[in-house]
Amino acid sequence: MLRFMPVGDSMTIGSAGEHTWRYRMWRHLCATHGGPFTLVGPRETLHDKAADAPTSYAYAEPAFPRAHLAGWGEGWLHMAPLIGEAVRASQADVLLVSLGLIDLGFYTNAEQTAENVRAFTAEARAANPHVRMVWLPVIWNVRAADDAPFGAQVTTFNELLAKTAADLDDPTSSILLASVPETWDIHTDTYDGTHPNAVGEHKLAEAFAKAMHQAWGVGGEYEVTA
């Protein structure tokens, strides 16, 4: 049984009524993986915007393993102290990580955020020395487009993330850097300039799927399904 843990911020947890890219990934792996797998993690809920709390179970499609480690307003800073126990408890094999926008927007600069990436990696490997990871760079959003200094921080962090992935990659605990979707458009792939709509959900899932298929032979070519 291969255990995948989605780790992320608001783009990963999603909000009430959404499918989430986690669901799109699950559907993709069901169609292409060819072996037993599941999604794992200590949390299952969506974010309820009305309550401003992660309390909703109102998935657009609830019939999938909803487990994850994602939170609205959480970043590498918040997940680094949590990932060790989450990996240990769930016996996660692969971490699908999409973090950084919150860190850069509210808590840490690019260099500090990169240090938290290293702390996260150390904690995950302490829990499972053979854990594999796929990191998605920070996806450009409306703030990055409108706020030049913030956009520069995003660019700098993504460069540091690539260098960190290369530095920390290990044959016994591989780290892949996924590619930001080339066609990502904040006007057509999000509903508010940041959070993915259905089209964006597919593009995020495809970014992870493509990295795993090309490097590890996990899954197959991504196809958009309902």
**Full domain range(s) for residue 204:** 2-216
Domain membership flag for residue 226: no
CATH of the domain at 178: 3.40.50.1110
Domain membership flag for residue 221: no
- Number of domains making up the chain: 1
Contact 18, 45 (CB under 8 A): no
Domain membership flag for residue 163: yes
Q: Is 36 exposed, middle or buried (0-12, 13-18, 19+ CB in 10 A)?
A: exposed
Domain membership flag for residue 224: no
| pLDDT at residue 225, as a whole number | 74
- Give how far Cα 206 sits from Cα of 25, 43, 173, Å: 8, 23, 22
Average pLDDT over residues 92-108: 98
Average pLDDT over residues 186-202: 98
Domain membership flag for residue 182: yes
Domain membership flag for residue 200: yes
Angle made by CA atoms 117, 1, 77, in degrees to the nearest 5? 15
Domain membership flag for residue 223: no
**Per residue in 35-94, pLDDT tens?**
999 999 999 999 999 999 999 999 999 999 999 999 999 999 999 999 999 999 999 999
What token pair was written down for 148? 């030049």
Helix (H) / strand (E) containing 122? helix 110-127
Query: Residue 25's closest CA among 66, 86, 73?
Result: 66
Average pLDDT over residues 145-150: 97
**In the Cβ-directed half-sphere of 98, how many Cα atoms lie within 13 Å?**
28
| pLDDT at residue 125, as a whole number | 98
Residues 6+ apart with CB under 8 A from 121: 133, 168, 175
Domain membership flag for residue 195: yes
| pLDDT at residue 226, as a whole number | 63
